[in-house]
C-alpha cells in the first residue's frame, strides 16, 4: 500500500471525526483511491470491534419482537429474495474471523478428500486448473451441507462440488442460480446428489451472466424458470480481476 498524505485521514474518517471541509475533500479522494478505501475499511473494522469492548448492557427480552416488527414495516423495495440472500451472508460473516478461517480449512480438507475420490476426467481437471477459474463456497446457516463452486470464466463451465448433500426427494431436483445485482436469478442448471452426499457436477454458466451471488434451491423435477423456494445454500463470487 502506497503511503500518501491522504492515508492520515482514513482513521478519523472511519470514526466520523473529520471536520466537514476535510471530510468532503477526503470523500472525493476516496472515489478514486482504492488503497485509501481499504485503509478506511480496516479502521471501520477497528471501530466495529470497539463495540465489543463497550460496558455490558442486557437488552430487554421484548426488544427482539419490536425490532422484527419495526423491520417488517421497513420492508425493502428490492427483491426480497435477494435481500434474504444478503442477510444470510451477513449472518455467516458475523461468525467471526477465526471460525470462518477454521471452517474454510475444514472445507478445504474435505474437498481434497472428495477430489481424490473423483474419477479425474480431463474435462474436470482442465476446468479446475485454468487460471481464469473463480472459486466460491456456498454455505448454509447450519453446519451441513456445503458446496464449493469453480467457475471457469474462459469456458463458462461451473464445477459444483458438494458435501453432505443428501439426494433430492423423489420428484424434486436441486437447481443452481446465478444472481446479478438488481436482476432476477438466472438458472445455471439442475442436478442431484450422489448417495455419498458428495456429487461433483459440471454445469454451463449462461453466456454473458456475471453473477455476484450464487444460490441453490430445491425445485420440482426438471427445474423452475424462477426459484420457487428460499435458497438453502448461498455464496458470493469475489472478483479476482
Partner 1 sequence: MAAGDERALGELYDRHGSTVYALARAIVGERADTEEVVADAFGQAWRTAGQFDPARGSVTAWLATITRTRALDLVRARGRRSKVLARAAQESDAGFATPLASSDAPDRDVERQETRQLVTRSLGELPEAQRRVIELAYFGGLSHSEIAAELKEPLGTVKTRLRAAMEKLRDALSPRIRQVEP
Q: Please give the residue ranges that form the binding site for Zn ion (CB under 5 A).
A: 6, 33, 36
Sheet containing 146-152, strands listed edge to edge, beginning at the edge strand earlier in sequence: 186-191, 172-179, 213-220, 233-236, 133-139, 146-152, 157-163, 200-204
Q: Which three cell numbers stand for residue 146?
A: 456445503
Give the one residue of 4, 24, 28, 42 binding partner 1; rule: CB under 8 A: 42
Among 2, 31, 32, 51, binds partner 1 (CB under 8 A): 51
43 binds, among partner 1, Zn ion, none (CB under 5 to 8 A by kind): partner 1
Cell of 201: 457436477
CA separation, residue 214 to residues 3, 40, 120, 179, 232 (Å):
37, 28, 25, 6, 11
Binder of partner 1 out of 59, 169, 195, 208 (CB under 8 A): 59
Q: Do 175 and 216 contact (CB within 8 A), yes or no? A: yes
By CB under 8 A, residue 38 contacts partner 1: yes
Q: Which is nearer to partner 1, 27 or 112 (CB)?
A: 27
6 binds, among partner 1, Zn ion, none (CB under 5 to 8 A by kind): Zn ion
Q: Output 99-104 pairs: Cβ under 8 A, ≥24 positions apart.
A: 103/139, 104/137
Shortest Å, Cβ 120 to partner 1: 31
Helix (H) or strand (E) holding 188: strand 186-191
- Exactly one of 31, 32, 94, 143 binds partner 1 (CB under 8 A); which one? 94
Which one of residues 5, 52, 122, 143 is an interface residue with partner 1 (CB under 8 A)?
52
462440488: which residue's cell?
Answer: 161
User: Which does residue 226 touch among partner 1, Zn ion, none (CB within 5 to 8 A, set by kind)?
Assistant: none
Interface ranges with partner 1 (CB under 8 A) = 8, 11-12, 14-20, 22, 34-35, 37-38, 41-60, 63-64, 66-68, 70-76, 78, 80, 82-84, 86-94, 96-100, 141, 230, 236, 238
Amino acid at each position: 500500500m502506497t503511503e500518501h498524505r491522504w492515508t492520515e485521514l482514513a482513521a478519523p474518517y472511519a470514526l466520523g471525526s473529520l471536520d466537514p471541509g476535510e471530510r468532503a475533500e477526503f470523500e472525493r479522494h476516496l472515489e478514486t483511491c482504492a488503497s485509501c478505501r481499504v485503509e478506511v475499511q480496516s479502521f471501520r473494522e477497528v471501530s466495529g470491534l470497539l463495540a465489543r469492548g463497550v460496558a455490558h448492557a442486557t437488552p430487554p427480552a421484548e426488544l427482539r419482537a419490536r425490532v422484527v416488527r419495526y423491520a417488517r414495516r421497513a420492508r425493502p423495495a428490492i427483491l426480497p429474495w435477494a435481500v434474504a440472500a444478503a442477510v444470510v451472508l451477513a449472518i455467516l460473516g458475523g461468525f467471526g474471523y477465526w471460525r470462518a478461517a477454521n471452517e474454510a480449512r475444514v472445507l478445504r480438507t474435505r474437498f481434497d478428500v472428495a477430489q481424490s475420490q473423483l474419477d479425474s476426467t480431463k474435462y474436470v481437471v482442465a476446468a479446475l486448473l485454468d487460471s481464469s477459474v473463480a472459486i466460491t463456497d456456498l454455505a448454509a446457516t447450519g453446519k451441513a451441507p456445503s458446496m464449493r463452486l469453480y467457475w471457469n470464466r474462459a469456458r463458462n463451465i461451473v464445477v459444483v462440488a458438494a458435501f453432505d448433500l443428501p439426494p433430492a426427494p423423489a420428484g424434486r431436483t436441486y437447481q443452481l442460480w446465478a444472481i446479478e445485482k438488481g436482476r432476477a436469478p438466472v438458472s445455471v442448471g439442475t442436478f442431484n446428489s450422489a448417495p455419498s452426499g458428495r456429487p461433483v457436477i459440471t454445469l454451463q454458466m449462461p453466456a454473458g451472466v456475471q453473477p455476484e451471488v450464487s444460490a441453490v434451491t430445491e425445485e420440482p423435477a426438471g427445474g423452475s424458470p424462477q426459484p420457487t423456494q428460499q435458497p438453502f445454500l448461498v455464496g458470493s463470487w469475489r472478483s479476482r480481476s
